[in-house]
Amino acid sequence: METPANVLKSRALGDQEVFNAETAVAWPAIIAGAFTAAAVSLILLLLGSALGLASVSPWAHSGVSAVTFSVTAAIWLIIMQWVASGLGGYLTGRLRSKWLGMHTDEVFFRDTAHGFLAWALATVLTAAFLASAASSIVGGGVRAATNITAGALAGAGQAAGQNPEGMKGEPLAYFVDSLYRTNNMAPNASEKDVRGETTRILVTGVKNGIIPDADKAYLAQLIAAHTGLSQADATARVNDTITQIDAAETKLGQEADKARKTASTISLLTFLSLLVGAFIATTAAALGGKHRDEF
């Protein structure tokens, strides 16, 4: 007699043919294990974040180093995957129904598959939660940064044309002030215009990556005329200030590159920890299933 199309499995026990039309996936056990793993992951993640923030410091030469922090974070991610995936996988195997009349190899395969499915569902749930939280944080940060930037640009435009004291918040204000350092020189309207023009020259040079020789010579003439320095001393001051600007740009580039490498390392360690979690979940599910069949 032919097996109906909706019959997924059949197995002969002696002279009796047993048909099973039910799915081989025990979704209730998988969902229970997945939610358990996701909850434990979030708890351990919050604990690790608290410990990590307590170990770092915004002050220079204080707190743990970046290397120590990265290694510790990697170890914690692996431990988190071990605990969460192991507990979720074990519950998945232990809570499933007992399969009768099935070969032990098939039972082992189903248990490991269930553990993997529980791990995958837990990973998706955790990623969705973290993505939602990150989106809220980033959205608030972007709105705040937009408001601050708009206010800063408006203030900078007014300061450049009217009030030289308003330039204290400008990124290049220090370098501009250093070009005009002199003894007992009171600011005047002409100095306002000169400082504004100097700022625009330096900003344009920073954006383009180079300050032309013609602009350097012009800046030296302005400095010599407004500070009483000789042309040679004014030229030396210009070159020294440009060197300081280049050094600041180089440092910013190095910090950005360091941040890029740190992000890449964290991504790689997260990938490895997830692989470890998948293996732990499948192994724990097989162990849970074995214990389920023994009772």
The two structure tokens encoding residue 214: 């013609």
Q: Is the pLDDT of residue 35 over 90?
A: yes
Res 198 pLDDT > 50:
yes
Compute, in degrees rounded to 10, the torsion defined by CA atoms 94, 98, 103, 105.
-20
Predicted pLDDT at 224 = 85
- The answer to which of 151-165, 205-219, 248-262 has the lowest mean pLDDT is 151-165
Q: What is the pLDDT of residue 156?
A: 45
Q: What confidence category does residue 10 fall into, taking pLDDT thresholds of 50, 70 and 90?
A: very low
pLDDT greater at residue 295 or residue 127 = 127
Q: What is the mean pLDDT of the chain?
A: 75
Span 93-109, pLDDT tens digits: 999 888 888 888 898 99
Q: How far does CA 283 lie from the centroid of its chain? A: 30
The pLDDT tens digits for 247-256 are: 888 888 888 8
Name the nearest CA neighbour of 84 among 28, 135, 132, 46. Answer: 46
| Span 55-77, average pLDDT | 69
Q: Which pTM value belongs to this model? A: 0.59
Residue 163 has a pLDDT of 45
- How far is 41 from 129, CA to CA, in rounded Å? 11
